[in-house]
Structures are given as C-alpha cells and as structure tokens.
Structure 1
Amino acid sequence: MDAPLSSWPWENFGVFKYVFYGPIVGKVLYEMMNQEEDSKLNLSWWCLNLIILCVLRISLHVVWSSYSNMLFLTRDRKILQQGVDFNQIDKEWNWDNFIILQTLVVFIVCYIFPFLQHLPIWNVKGLIVALILHVGVSEPLYYWFHKKFHGDYLFKNYHSLHHSSSVPTPLTAGNASFMEHIILMMVIGIPIFGTSMMGYGSTSLVYGYVLIFDYLRCLGHCNVEIVPHKWFEAFPFLKYVLYTPTYHNLHRTNKDTNFCLFMPLFDALGNTLNTKSWTLHKTLSSGSGNEARVPDFVFLAHMVDISSAMHVPFVLRSTSSLPYTTRLFFIPCLPFTFIVVMVMWLRSKTFLLSFYNLRDRLHQTWVVPRCGFQYFLPFATNGINKLIEQSILRADKMGVKVISLAALNKNESLNGGGKLFVDKHPNLRVRVVHGNTLTAAVILNEIPQGVNEVFLTGATSKLGRAIALYLCQKKVRVLMLTISTDRFLKIQKEAPLEYQSYLVQITKYQAAQNCKTWIVGKWITPREQSWAPKGTHFHQFVVPPILSFRRDCTYGELAAMRLPEDVEGLGCCEYTMERGVVHACHAGGVVHSLEGWRHHEVGAIDVKRIDLVWEAALKHGLKPVTTCPHNKTD
C-alpha cells in the first residue's frame, strides 16, 4: 500500500485530469458573456490570469526541455553524457501535475480571500518584500524540508520518485510525489501570499515570482552547464546566491550535499556544501571536462516531409517518443516549420539529433537538413551529395568506425548507394554502409516457406535485383515487373545458368493475378492492387508505404528490426517505427559496427552476404519485427 499523499489524486485520470481546469475556464467564459461594463477586477479576471500563467509555465518548461534536447547546441556542455530513455520519459509523462495542483489551490484561495482578486498591476515595495520573504523564509524552509526528505522513510516513500530519473531534465523538476509538491507549493506561496497580506501584492509580482521560480528550477535540472564560470570569478558572492546545473547535479550523485533551493549560501551555513561544486562547474562551463565520446557508429538520416520534421526530441519529447503520426496540434505549426526547413536549406552542415549506447558503443543519429521532396529536385543533387560527403569526411576525421546512409541519402540515382564517396575517397578509415543487405534479408525472411512464386515490383532496383537473384537460387519463380528488357536481361545473366529460368519478365499487373505473394518496391495505386487475388500479402520496401486498400489482403510494414534489449539511452522513435525499432538499413549499420567488419557496403548488394548478415543480426540480439501472417503458428 502506498504511503499517504505519495500518489496524485488524479493519477489514473489520463488526459481527463485537465477537466480540473474546467471551473476556471468556465468562470472566465461566463463572466465574459454576462458581466456588466463597469465591472472590472473580479474573480473572473483572476481566473483569466491563472489560465495565462498556466500556459506560460507549461511553455517555459517545454522551451527549456527543447533547448536541453538540442544536442547540436548543447552536446559539448552536457553534464551527464547519456540519453534519456523511454522509461524515464514515461515516468515523467505527468510532470505538469504540480501546475494543476497550484492552479486549483490559488483559485480556491482567491475565492476565500476576495482582496486577492483586486491586486494592482505593479507595486515596487512588493518586490522588495517578496525578495526578503524568499531569502529569509522560503530558502531556509525548503533547505530544511529537503534534508528531511532524505531520511530513510521520507526518501523511500516520497522523494525517491524525483531521484529515479537517471538524467535530470527540465521536466524532471515537476516529477515528484504529491506530498513534495504540497510542501513546494507552500514554499512558493509564502512570498506571494505574505506580501499580499501586507498590502504590497501585485499581479506583476505573481507572474514574475512564479515564472522566475520555474525558470530557476528548470535551469538546475537542464543537464547543460550554461552559467559562465567567469561570473563567479568576477563576482565571488554570486557563488552563494545562484546555483548552477552542475551544483544541482552533484546533489543527485551525492545525496548528502547541496540541498539548497536556489542559493548555495544555505548549504554553506548548514555545512552540506559539496567541495567539488566550483571546480567542477568551471571545468564543465568551459567545455573542457565533459568527456564527450567519439561515436562508434553514425546513422545519417534526413527529414521525410514538413510534418515529420517536427517529430524530433527538441520540439516535443513526448511526441518523438511515440511512432510518428500526423497530429492535429502540429497543423497550425506547419507554415512556421516550412519556413524553418527553407532556412535550413542554406545550412551547410548536418546536425546531431539523438544518441544511444549499445554494448559500450556510442551510436549517434545525424540529420541532413533536407526534406524528402528536395532529393528529387535536379538542381539540389550536387548540394545534397556535398552535405553527405562532408558528413562522411567529418566522421572519418573524428574517428567514427561506421557511418550508415538512410533512405534517400543512398539513392542509386543520387550517389550509387554511397559508391560515389568511396570511389572519390579511397583512403577512408570510416566504413560507409547503405545497410540494404540486411533490408533484403528482412524481406526475404518474411516470405513463408513453401512459396514457389512471387510478384516483384521495383524489380530492377538495388533491393529488387538482390531479392530476385536470391529467390531464384531457392527455386522460387520471380515475376519481375519491368518494361526495360535490357535491365531485366542484365540481372538474369547474373544468376547461375541453371536458375535463370526462374526469373520471368512481365510488363503488366494482370500477369500476377494468380500470385498471392507480392513484394512491392515501387509504389502501386489501389487500382493496380486490385489485380492481386484474395488473400494476397503485400511485402514492401517502398517509401512511402502503399495504401492498405484491400480488406481481403494483408499488408506488411517497412523492413525493420528491434534493437537488442541492452540498448541504453534510447528515447525517440524512428519515424513511424515503434519504440526500440529501427529501419533495417539502420540495423544493418549497427550489425556492421558490432561485427567490426572493415569493408564498405556500397553500390550493388552482394547476394552471397544476405544470409551472413542476417545470422550476424540475430547473433547480436536484433529481432525481426514483422512476420507474414502465413508464417504465424497457433
């Protein structure tokens, strides 16, 4: 049984917890429609201010969270060099509970004490009184309570939740038990309520104090050292009136030190000041002591479209931790996102998006600042290739072992599946990998045993060629849809003589009307799908995936694999993939890195290596995600 007041009253309400804002919003709307013109400051006015303050507070935390997740800006000043995983994100999902609590309490207090509804806009004396109350009452009170919460009983039942987050983030600041936030609400309320009771309160004081309070809380939890050590060298007294993210993080690693709210003065007076606070802060703020690691593996991705460009941790961590889908609240942001994407067109460097650890190896995702449609503009080809080349050379210079090209970054018409860069720079130490060997393996292992005929679109593409050559050697008849006889014959001649008859060129979809296994490598319309017989399963390696038009047929997902269970720090989903699942080409690069292979995987797929790569993936704990329905057993 949980300890009293450890759980939130609305813990199981889900999104319905926001119903608690209903009376406040309702009061505002009612008064707006019914109040008389000469009625000015009243409860509805205060309710409106509460709503505005809630929006500002949530926005403040989200902006801070976005900043801390902008790894391309903050990586060199990160305090803890590890990623935020899905477990922590889920644990902190309801970080905004404290805002609901404080809003409801303030609403009730204003109703009980009507004079609070008529505060002036500004009162300079109130700012001075609030500062005195904060320093003289709130800071020492918080310090005392915080030390008590580190006792065995209180820590186990109340405070351990806050410390359970392995990496502090601005949203971690709000992740605490109900009891803790009741006490924190008292700490934050004393200067405001006390000042108002003395007759010096003001609306600006409420806004200013609450937002500064939240700002400093986010600062301490952001895991990025942004306070310059030169401030403390120029003004030594600042060390005791302003804490830093480094200072706060030392409390998380050594729970018997650094208990202060914002002012280290009280730790100094209480003899709980960590002696490493200032030296470590100087080291981290100068960017010389964060021990930033060189990644072993880099996945070079790109943006898919304008909408999915917002599916990144530095926009909203919560949405990026779920598979991508178009969300209504993103639609109003599309014009602004489009402008940002166009501005990024001018950017001549990739940026770091995310990272995770696997088997003590650092894996990073870099992003080429280009959207999918830009890859099909003839005049953009050279610029995109230049960006990819710069990324490969940068990785080579850093000492990265493997760089894997995603989706359109390895487009055959763009750079020959990466072959262009390997030929241009024959002395590369970094291995360039397109990962399509594992993609082919994933698709081939989805096909049920006993299938003796398949229909293949995109048959002369890099993947289509490999799939056709592999299947024909398994004595599976492959109906290859292509109007180019020359390209078909070129592939057919690659097959051993005794298997060439299993490759059959067709030019119309009607020829596949009796084949129940379709492998789609080129986008097909609902009308073209109509030629498939009932019960057909559509395997696919086409981007974007085809529409699930036929209800009497089944549709496979894009080739993907689930990362091993010992992956650490993974907290965002790769496009539409589920948590912990990556595209097969990404997984192919991971396997290449884990195996320590020293060859480049560019250009045409080596059919002889398909089984080898598949077995290596399974050996390292990667698992296939999708299975053809015909392969499932009861």
Structure 2
Amino acid sequence: MVAPLSRWPWENLGHFKYLLYGPLLTKYLLSRLGEDTQKDNWCFHILLICCLRGAIHQLWSSYNGMYFLTQHRRILQRGCDFKQIDREWDWDNFIILHAFLASLACYCFPFLTNLPVWNTRGCIYALVLHICVSEPLYYVIHRCFHSDSLFTHYHSFHHGSPVPHPYTASNSTPLEQFILSAIIGIPILGASITGYGSKGLIYGYVLMFDFLRCLGHSSVEVVPHVIYETLPLLKYLLYTPTYHSIHHTEMTTNYCLFMPIYDALGKTLNHKSWELHKKISSGINRRVPDFIFLVHIVDVMSSMHVSFLLRSFVSTPFTTRFFLIPFWPIAFVAMLLMWSSPKAFMASSYNLKGRLQQSWVVPRYGFQYFLPFAVESINKRIEEAILKADRLGVKVISLAALNKNEALNGGGTLFVKKHPNLKVRVVHGNTLTAAVILNEIKEDVKEVFLTGATSKLGRAIALYLCRRRVRVMMLTLSTERFQSIQKEAAAEFQSFLVQVTKHQAAQNCKTWIVGKWLTPRQQSWAPSGTHFHQFVVPQVIPFRRDCTYGDLAAMRLPPDVEGLGECEYTMERGVVHACHAGGLVHLLEGWTHHEVGALDVDRIDLVWKAALKHGLKPV
C-alpha cells in the first residue's frame, strides 16, 4: 500500500502538468481586462516567482555541469547517472504545489495581496523568525524523517540520489514539500501579520531560500575555506556543499537547514566537515583521469547538447528540437568566440571499473576541419591537449572523429613522431571501429561494395574481408593506391580485391560499406534490400525506403559504469562510438603502444575479443 502523500497526484500527466498553472494565468489575464487589476495582481507575482525559482535551479544545474570551471572543486568526481536523472526528472513538482499553497494563502489572508514594495523592519523580523523558528523546526523535523518508518516511506526518495545536485534539493515527496512550505511561510506570514510585510520580502526570502538549498546540494564547493579561517564563527551560520554532502553519505550527521549551529547544539555535527571542506575548496581533491576521449563539436545545433544547458536534453540522444531554434543565434556567437579559444576543455566525467574517464572538447566545429587555413590551428589545439594529458599523468587519450583525420595529422601519427617520449598513449580507436563493422557483416555475404576504400578503415576492412574470401569492390579512382593495398594481401587473396570507379558497378550488390558520403543519386544505384554499413562522418541521409541503414560503429558500455548521464551525440544511453570504446579497451588491457596511423589488420580480432572480455557489447 502506498503511504499517504508519498506520490504526486499529477505524476502521470507528463509535460501536461504545466497546464495546472492555467487557472492562475487565466485569472491574471482576465483581471488585466477588467477594472479590478490591483486585487488580482497577486496571480502575476506567484507566476513570476515560480519562473524565477525554476531559473535559480536551472542556473545552479548549469554551473554544476560546467566541468571545465569546476573540475578542481568537485566533491564527487563522477556525474549524475541516467537513473538519477530519471529519478529527478520531475524535480519541479514542488513549484506547482507551492503555487497552489500561495494562492490559498492569498485567499485566507487578503492583506497579502496588497503589500508595499519594501519594508526594512519586516525583513529583520523575517530573519529573526527564520533563525529562531524555521531553522530549529526544520532540524527537528529532518531528524524525525530519518526514523525508520518516515525514512522508508518518504525521505528515502530524496536520499536515493547518490550524487547531490541542485535538482536533488527539491526532489522529495508531497508530504515533505507541504512541511517545507510551512517552514518557508513562517517568516513571511509572521512579518506580514505584524504589519511589516512586503513584496520585496516575499521575493527575496523565497528566492534566497531556494538559492541556499541549491548551494547545499551542489556537487561543487563554492565557499572558500579562507572565509571560515578569517571568521571562524561564520562556519556555524552558513553551511557549505561539502558540509551537506556528508549528510548524504553519513545520514546520522549534519541535519541542519542552512545553519550548522543547530547540529552543534544537537550534537549531530560531523567533525570532519571543516577539514574536508578545506581540502576540496583548496582544489587538492582533484583526481587525475585514467582515460580521456578528445572530441570536437559537430555543428552549431549539436553544440547545445551539453551538460551545462539542459540536463534532461543531454540525457537523451541528440536530435534537433524546436525549443533549440531560438537559442541558435547565441550558439552561433559562442562558436565565433570559441574560434579564439586557447585550449580544449573538460565536458563530462564517469567511472568505469574504478577508473575515471573524461571527455575533453577541442573548441572547433566540424566544418572548420575542412578549411585549409585552419589545419595548423586545430593540430595545435589537439597537441596541447595531448601534452596536458601527458603532464597530468593520463594513461590513454583517444582521438574522436575528425581529430584523427588522415589529412589533418595522419591519424595521430604527427603527434607521436613530434613527441617520441610521450607517456600518455595516443589512440585513434579505429581498430575496434573496423572490428564492429566487420562483425556486423553476415557470414554468408560473398560480395561487398566499399566506398572510402583507401582510407585507414577502408584498407583494413578490405584486407580483412578478402581473407574471408569475400569479393570486395573497392571504389577508388587511384589505381596506384588500390594496387598498393592489393599487394598487402597474400597472393591467394589478391583476386578478391577488385577496383571499381563508379557506383553503377554495385547495382547488384546488397551489402554496401560506406566510408565516404553518398548523394541520393549515388544511393539510387543500390538494389532494393541493400543494407548500408557506415563509418562516414556525418552519416548518410537515408533516402531509400526500400533499403536499411546502419548506425555509426558503436558499443554499449558495461552495466557497472558509474556517473554516466549524457548521450554521446546521437547514440543511445550507455552507448559510445567505437573509437571511444577502443580507447577504453586500450586502457583496460594495459597496452603500452600508440595506436596511430595505419591499422594492423592482425589485431582486429584481438581487440574485438578484448572488448567483449571487459563487458562491452555490440549494439
């Protein structure tokens, strides 16, 4: 049986729950059309406060997602995983509830609808009531919610989030939010009943209350320890994110609302709070990642698929949404500013088998890689990221997509030759990419058509398939490059490699391996029922309805991955590009060689078996 007030009555409405604001909006709009404007103006203020409360939580969430700014002061190195994001999906339910309760308060206490803009004495009264009533009342009630029954039925939902986040602050049951609204209301009503209330007090107190709640549940330490060393008493008057994070790991301590003095009086203050706070705020808690995946931005629209914007959006595969369109100009300006950005920046973090993994972003967009004058600048940024990883002690850095382009840097060869003493292993991950594509091809296939045939991947795929006695039609205009690849095959397999110069040659072949972008006309030469395997970036557009199109080579991470809450571009949850997975396998196997330049065909099966051994699975 479900405990009373442990479920939100509108939890099944989805996005339609926002229609519950409709009566307030309607009443306000009607009042603007009528003569009694002043009396019903309170509807506007309630709606505005709701918007501002949501904005405060969103801004704190964005700050928490800015790993490039906060990586030195993060309390927990991993991020929020998909399970926690889904658990906190409806974190804003409390705003709807408090809007209802505020409306009820305006009907019960009509004087609230006609308050002055500001009253200094009322703010002082509210502060006294907060310190003397709200703080101790919250402390006592919070401790009660940690008793067996109340915790099991109510408070455990809040503590089910392993990584504190600003959205965690408001992610609780209706009963807890009813009580929290009373705690918020005491100072406001107390000051107003005495005749010293004001609109400024309501706005200021409610928004500051949310601000401090988000601060405490932030996974980043923002309060400098120097302040507490200069003013020791202040640490009993204002808590910190570190202080409250201890409550989420050791739940018998640090119960206070905002003021640790009540934990000190109640003998529930965790004495390692200040030492841990000093350690984290000093930046010495930073952990060096074992693996870095060096990515780049695809285009202006996908640049908004980042953790510090909308957490819910980035937790789903990227696709262009209508709500992104108004923000396109801002993203475009950001692109122009990034052109002058001096270095790569950290974008995400997660743990795999106890090892910290991070994604760093080279501040360059896809189209910029094809500008001749940009080559030197891009290589410089990639080189700086590799050298920084080397200085930090990173073990493996994997190059994504265009960062390992053959024309750009020879698949990473440029950096290894220039810096022969690198301790960090540079990996392009294409060996596993080739393995994924090859394992998608059915055993009974006897003929394939290959575009991008003389690229690193194309060459390896062709040589591997000819060993399986599969006839490979290699689309290339360069006879010299074709013959060079053909000579690499054993004499008995060379006849399986065939050069073709036009797409028409594959009009009877139903297995196409696409390494170079195809136009609609080029796709039209494929027979009905053709399947297009792909290793081309960007993916080809599926024009043919009578054919099937594979996704880019990818692998699913093991289920024990921790802190992964972002989808990698268009990939599903928990799925990463094969080159990303290839770098992880390189790390987990402890291989000490660089994987750059041409692929070693003999290692394709070895890398594939290693990936499966470590729990990675084909999609």
Is residue 2:169 matched to residue 1:142?
no
Task: Find the partner of 1:476 among 462, 466, 470.
Answer: 470
Residue 282 of structure 1: how far off its partner (Å): 2.3
Q: Which amino acid aligns with 1:9?
A: P
Residue 90 of structure 1: how far off its partner (Å): 0.9
Is residue 2:275 matched to residue 1:279?
yes
Q: Which amino acid aligns with 2:45?
A: N
CA distance in 1, matches of 2:543, 2:180: 55
Q: Which amino acid aligns with 1:13?
A: L
The one-character-per-residue Cα deviations of 1:323-352 (angstroms, maximum 9, x if unpaired) are: 111121111111111111221221211111
Report what 1:5 is aligned to: 5
Q: TM-score, with normalisation over the residues of structure 1?
A: 0.96
CA distance in 1, matches of 2:220, 2:254: 18
Report what 1:173 is aligned to: 169
Task: Find the partner of 1:383 among 373, 377, 395.
Answer: 377
Task: Find the partner of 1:160 among 156, 160, 163.
Answer: 156
The one-character-per-residue Cα deviations of 1:266-293 (angstroms, maximum 9, x if unpaired) are: 22222222222223222322223x2x22
The one-character-per-residue Cα deviations of 1:216-260 (angstroms, maximum 9, x if unpaired) are: 001101021111222222222212211111211222222222211
Is residue 2:594 matched to residue 1:600?
yes
CA distance in 1, matches of 2:308, 2:80: 12
The one-character-per-residue Cα deviations of 1:521-544 (angstroms, maximum 9, x if unpaired) are: 111112221111111111111111
Q: Which amino acid aligns with 1:219?
A: L
CA distance in 1, matches of 2:277, 2:453: 59
Q: Which amino acid aligns with 2:38?
A: L
Residue 82 of structure 1: how far off its partner (Å): 2.5
Task: Find the partner of 1:441 among 432, 435, 438.
Answer: 435
Secondary structure of the 2:499 match is strand
Is residue 2:161 matched to residue 1:182?
no
Is residue 2:38 matched to residue 1:41?
yes
Q: Larger deviation: 417-426 or 190-199? A: 190-199
Residue 317 of structure 1: how far off its partner (Å): 1.3
Is residue 2:543 matched to residue 1:543?
no
The one-character-per-residue Cα deviations of 1:131-182 (angstroms, maximum 9, x if unpaired) are: 1211121111111111111111111111111111111011100111111111
CA distance in 2, matches of 1:88, 1:57: 21
CA distance in 1, matches of 2:415, 2:370: 20
Report what 1:220 is aligned to: 216
Q: Which amino acid aligns with 2:34?
A: Q
Number of aligned residue pairs: give it.
619
The one-character-per-residue Cα deviations of 1:598-632 (angstroms, maximum 9, x if unpaired) are: 1111111111111111111111111110xxxxxxx
Q: Which amino acid aligns with 2:195?
A: G
Task: Find the partner of 1:210 among 203, 206, 211.
Answer: 206
Report what 2:127 is aligned to: 131
Report what 2:250 is aligned to: 254
Is residue 2:519 matched to residue 1:522?
no
Report what 1:631 is aligned to: none
Check whether the contact 2:77–2:349 (CA below 8 A) recurs between aligned residues. no
Is residue 2:580 matched to residue 1:586?
yes
The one-character-per-residue Cα deviations of 1:47-102 (angstroms, maximum 9, x if unpaired) are: 11222211111111111111112111111111223321111111111111111110
Q: Which amino acid aligns with 2:89?
A: W
Secondary structure of the 1:544 match is coil
Secondary structure of the 1:557 match is strand
Structure 2: gaps spanning 5 or more residues: none
Q: Which amino acid aligns with 2:393?
A: G
Is residue 2:418 matched to residue 1:424?
yes
Secondary structure of the 2:153 match is helix
Q: Larger deviation: 482-491 or 307-316? A: 482-491
CA distance in 2, matches of 1:9, 1:77: 39
Report what 1:628 is aligned to: none
CA distance in 2, matches of 1:191, 1:325: 46
CA distance in 1, matches of 2:224, 2:395: 35
Task: Find the partner of 2:347 among 350, 353, 371.
Answer: 353
Residue 360 of structure 1: how far off its partner (Å): 1.6
CA distance in 1, matches of 2:353, 2:262: 42
Q: Which amino acid aligns with 2:462?
A: A
CA distance in 1, matches of 2:577, 2:61: 27
Residue 491 of structure 1: how far off its partner (Å): 1.5
Secondary structure of the 2:391 match is helix
Report what 1:576 is aligned to: 570
Secondary structure of the 2:566 match is coil
Q: Larger deviation: 126-135 or 191-200? A: 191-200
CA distance in 2, matches of 1:283, 1:512: 64
Check whether the contact 2:31–2:37 (CA below 8 A) recurs between aligned residues. no
Is residue 2:101 matched to residue 1:101?
no
Q: TM-score, with normalisation over the residues of structure 2?
A: 0.98
Residue 186 of structure 1: how far off its partner (Å): 0.6
CA distance in 2, matches of 1:564, 1:122: 57
Task: Find the partner of 1:403 among 394, 397, 403.
Answer: 397
Task: Find the partner of 2:194 among 198, 206, 229.
Answer: 198
Q: Which amino acid aligns with 1:118?
A: N
Secondary structure of the 1:455 match is strand
CA distance in 1, matches of 2:393, 2:247: 35
Q: Larger deviation: 135-144 or 247-256? A: 247-256
CA distance in 2, matches of 1:246, 1:467: 52
The one-character-per-residue Cα deviations of 1:458-517 (angstroms, maximum 9, x if unpaired) are: 111111111111111211111111222222222222222221221111122111111111
Task: Find the partner of 1:59 among 55, 58, 67.
Answer: 55
CA distance in 1, matches of 2:29, 2:538: 45
CA distance in 1, matches of 2:569, 2:99: 36
CA distance in 2, matches of 1:280, 1:488: 62
Q: Identity of paired residues, percent? A: 67
Task: Find the partner of 2:607 among 604, 609, 613.
Answer: 613
Please, what is the CA RMSD of the aligned residues? 1.3
Q: Which amino acid aligns with 2:8?
A: W
Q: Which amino acid aligns with 1:310?
A: M
Structure 1: gaps spanning 5 or more residues: 626-634
Counterparts of 1:430-509 in structure 2, within 5 Å, are 430-509=424-503
Report what 1:366 is aligned to: 360
Is residue 2:325 matched to residue 1:331?
yes
Is residue 2:79 matched to residue 1:83?
yes
CA distance in 1, matches of 2:277, 2:563: 24
Q: Which amino acid aligns with 1:456?
A: L
Report what 1:314 is aligned to: 308
Residue 40 of structure 1: how far off its partner (Å): 4.0
The one-character-per-residue Cα deviations of 1:406-454 (angstroms, maximum 9, x if unpaired) are: 0000000000000011111111111111000110111111111111111
Secondary structure of the 1:365 match is strand
Report what 1:632 is aligned to: none
CA distance in 2, matches of 1:300, 1:280: 32
Task: Find the partner of 1:71 among 67, 73, 80.
Answer: 67
Residue 20 of structure 1: how far off its partner (Å): 0.8
Secondary structure of the 2:576 match is strand
CA distance in 1, matches of 2:24, 2:589: 60
Residue 122 of structure 1: how far off its partner (Å): 1.4
Report what 1:22 is aligned to: 22
Q: Which amino acid aligns with 1:361?
A: R
CA distance in 2, matches of 1:164, 1:578: 24
Check whether the contact 2:436–2:554 (CA below 8 A) recurs between aligned residues. yes
Residue 519 of structure 1: how far off its partner (Å): 0.8
Check whether the contact 2:427–2:595 (CA below 8 A) recurs between aligned residues. yes
Q: Which amino acid aligns with 1:294?
A: V
Q: Larger deviation: 439-448 or 126-135? A: 126-135
Residue 185 of structure 1: how far off its partner (Å): 0.7
CA distance in 1, matches of 2:513, 2:250: 57
CA distance in 2, matches of 1:96, 1:189: 19
